Amino acid sequence: MLNEQQITKLLERIIDPVLEATLLETDGIIEVSATDAGTTLEIALADPEQQTEEFITNITELLSQFGHEEIHLELSYLPTSKIEKIIEGRNNILSPESKTQFIAIASGKGGVGKSTIAANLAVSLRRLGKKVGLLDADIYGFSLPVLLGTSESPTTKDEKIIPVTTYGIQLVSMESFVDEGEPVIWRGPMLGKMIKMFLEDVMWDAPDFLIIDLPPGTGDVALDIHTLLPSCNEIIVTTPHHAAATVASRAGIMAQKNNHHILGVIENLSYYLSESGEKIYLFGQGGGEKVAETLKTELLMTFPIEQPEQNKNGYLSGIYEENTPLGDDFLTLAKKINQHL
């Protein structure tokens, strides 16, 4: 039989059926007593009258494996303040209770396909069954809504922004906050306020991953992300060209100086595959390896130059479909990232 400390450790993994949080996270284990007369437990739940039959069965079956047959279980209510704190923490991805993993997609130069990488990684993580948010933080060069084929605008609730849902992912982009065709002419302080709003004033639905499409370079937005998200992960995107690789390395070094974890490097536009099967290296070779070596990280993937197929309506999406060569490659990338984190 287990002692009281061992029982507590075992129960910490049990899930509150309403809050979908562990008893460790809810502080729901109120009392544990183990004597020769039996085992007495008091556990507080968000609502002890909902979905409790399976909950009780899980506990009794778990403890019976360790010789605890006489189990007296009392269920009580969690304090309202505790429930509100847990729910608020889920809606605020910056709170200590949030389990969201942040992944910033960065590059040195523009035009390397960074946004395409961000969009397809987000969709591929969703295809793995993960809850995914996608933040278009490229304030001047926002393009994710176009890549994802949506013109829908976010709504609001309780003074919070509700993200658009497309491909099963939650999307917020600067495009929704400016008139069509209107350029964004802002300086640093305004950029910082917008990024902070995207993180704090959006009702993200507890995503497992928040993919952040950064603007190219090492400017104000990148600095704001480093300040607001000190534990952010980053993926550096480059092309094979030595100029793009050199500038991409600077973006990675900046991230490392701000204690961001570099998950790896992606070399995009690596080659063009001709009809004969020959690889034609339009931008040279070795840029991704050079950046990975400089940053002492791995080269995660190399992606060729290939256009997504048109859908039945003739729309050219920015997303590679499942069961296509690049769709499979992005799924491989998503699996790597999921294993890393």
Tell me: is residue 67 an annotated ligand-binding position. Answer: no
Handedness of CA 69, 72, 76, 82 (dihedral sign): negative
Residue 169 is classified by DSSP as E
Q: Using alpha carbons, select from 226, 240, 219 the residue that is nearest to residue 304.
A: 240
Query: Is 111 annotated in some ligand binding site?
Result: yes
Is position 82 annotated in a ligand binding site? no
Cβ atoms < 10 Å from Cβ of 71:
16
CB-based contact 216:183 (threshold 8 Å):
no
E strand residue ranges, the chain: 15-16, 21-22, 29-35, 38-45, 71-77, 101-107, 132-136, 155-157, 160-162, 164-166, 169-173, 209-213, 233-238, 261-267, 272-273, 279-280, 299-302
- List the structure tokens of 41: 């437990």
Q: Dihedrals φ, ψ of 290, to 5°? A: -65, -45
Question: How far is 138 from 195, CA to CA, in rounded Å?
Answer: 10
Query: Taking the CA of residue 156 as centre, how many other CA atoms within 13 Å lie in the half-sphere pointing to its CB?
Result: 7
User: Tokens representing 125?
Assistant: 């993580």
Number of Cα atoms under 13 Å in the Cβ half of residue 234:
30
Task: Say whether 113 counts as a known binding-site residue.
Answer: yes
Retrieve residue 54's tokens: 């399976």
Contacts for 260 with CB less than 8 Å, ≥ 6 apart: 104, 226, 232, 233, 234
DSSP 3-state assignment of 275? coil
129 marked among binding-site residues: no
Tokens of 7: 């029982």
> Could you tell me which residues are beta bridge partners of residue 171?
134, 164
- The reply to whether 274 sits in an annotated binding site is no
Which residues are part of a known binding site? Answer: 108-115
Which residues are part of a known binding site for ATP? Answer: 108-115
